[in-house]
Amino acid sequence: MLSGLALSSCGWTLAEVKSDVGDVSDHQPASNELYIYTWSSYFDDELLDGFQKQTGIKVIADTFESNEVMLATLRAGKGAAYSVIYPSDYTVAKMISLKMLRELDRSRLPGLSNLLPRFQNSITDPGNRYHVPFSWGTTGFTYDSEQLSPGPDGWSYLWQTQDKLSRRMTLMSDLREVMGGVLRSIGYSYNSTNPAEIQQAYEKLVQLKPQIVTFNTDAWRDQLIAGDLVLSMGFSSDALTVMSEDARLRYVIPATGTSVWSDTLVIPKTAPNPKAAYAWINYLLEPAIAAKVTERLLFATPNQAAYEQLPAALQKNEVLFPPESVLARCEGIVPVSSDTEALYERYWTQLVSS
């Protein structure tokens, strides 16, 4: 998806896309440049080209694989060039506590009125003072229906079917998603703060670890299509992308429930070009733009006006827009105390490094 994003217009490159951030702290963006820090699947040629034609602003995009990597990059002082960042909703609260974000001037964002009611007021940022919801979805399992029949219905399948899955499955490189999914599967909250419950989830994962090829959030897609994997944990938006390329693949939300996540747009306090940042956010809030991006990149939009412009087939796609009966079993990830966070991180480090 990232290949070929460099387009030429008016004698200059529209976008440069890098997965390895390097040190951008010394960049001095020009007034017609916008540096963004985002997930790899949230833009394409058409989006960037349309923004350039409308505003004359050149976009330079760096990508990250997890919220933890993004935060570590910023805290290391390598993010001074970015004017827009795409954290997940629960990470917004942490960035607010770290005083990383500018409070938004809502009068400069008229498109906010297009957001669905459920996205108008976040529990992690009451009043949406610092963020704008950009996309949403669920977390589940994408699997090869020809090699796994019957397919998985939840987390218990991973332990019950280890002979078929051994060294042919991946889990995400996201401690809150992985630990949360297991916690939910054994009857606890995705956001448990109980040390005994968290330990129990960790011990379940230790049992499964020998069968896991790796922990990654993005690389599994090509491997699943190639047949090197038969099951991968991932986001619904990524599942839709690979399912559109391979009819064998299916997506399932665990029967015990999963996370409902939202990725957002924020402006850091250190943003060198806030004017361009507001222009970018307003562009993405335009219903016609948001609808077309959803059609091309296959992630659910929180924009009601954009949803109404989608083809009926997409509106009825239950991977993209799960029914309320499914969402009722799900939770959003919320921040936890620093002590609990440290406990999660300790178990996670032990798990992935063992």
Task: Provide the pLDDT for residue 27.
Answer: 54
Residue 36 CA to residue 94 CA, distance in Å, equals 19
Q: Are residues 144 and 79 part of one domain?
A: no
Tell me the CATH number at 170. Answer: 3.40.190.10
Are residues 149 and 237 located together in one domain of the fold?
yes
Based on the fold, state whether residues 71 and 127 are members of the same structural domain. yes
In this structure, are 55 and 114 located in the same domain? yes
Q: Both 122 and 144 in a single domain?
A: no
Q: Are residues 67 and 113 in the same domain?
A: yes
CA 324, 182, 167, 349 torsion: positive or negative? positive
User: Number of folded domains in the chain?
Assistant: 2
What strands, in cross-sheet order, belong to the sheet with 58-63?
Answer: 15-18, 58-63, 33-38, 82-85
Q: What is the pLDDT of residue 217?
A: 87
Angle subtended at Cα 318 by Cα 315 and Cα 321, rounded to the nearest 5 degrees: 55
Any domain includes 51:
yes
pLDDT tens for the chain, residues 1 to 354? 333 333 222 222 333 334 444 444 445 556 799 999 998 888 888 998 899 999 999 998 889 988 889 999 999 988 899 999 999 998 999 999 999 999 999 999 999 999 998 898 888 899 999 999 999 999 999 999 999 999 999 999 999 999 999 999 999 999 999 999 999 999 999 999 999 999 999 999 999 999 999 999 888 999 999 999 999 999 999 999 999 999 999 999 999 999 999 999 999 999 999 999 999 999 999 999 999 999 998 899 999 999 999 999 999 999 999 999 999 999 999 889 999 999 999 999 999 998
Q: How confident is the model at residue 192, as a pLDDT?
A: 98
Would you call 8 helix, strand, or coil by DSSP? strand
Residue 156 sits in the same domain as residue 125: no
Query: Burial, 140: exposed, middle or buried (Cβ in 10 Å; 0-12, 13-18, 19+)?
Result: buried
With respect to residue 142, please indicate whether it lies within any of the assigned structural domains: yes
Distances (CA, A) of 183 to 178, 291, 346: 9, 35, 16
User: What pTM did the predictor assign?
Assistant: 0.83
Same domain for 222 and 330, yes or no, is: yes
Tokens encoding 255: 């029967």
Range of the domain at 90: 8-131+266-285
For residue 125, being part of any structural domain is answered with yes
* Residue 115 included in any domain: yes
A 10 A CB-CB count for 123 gives 11
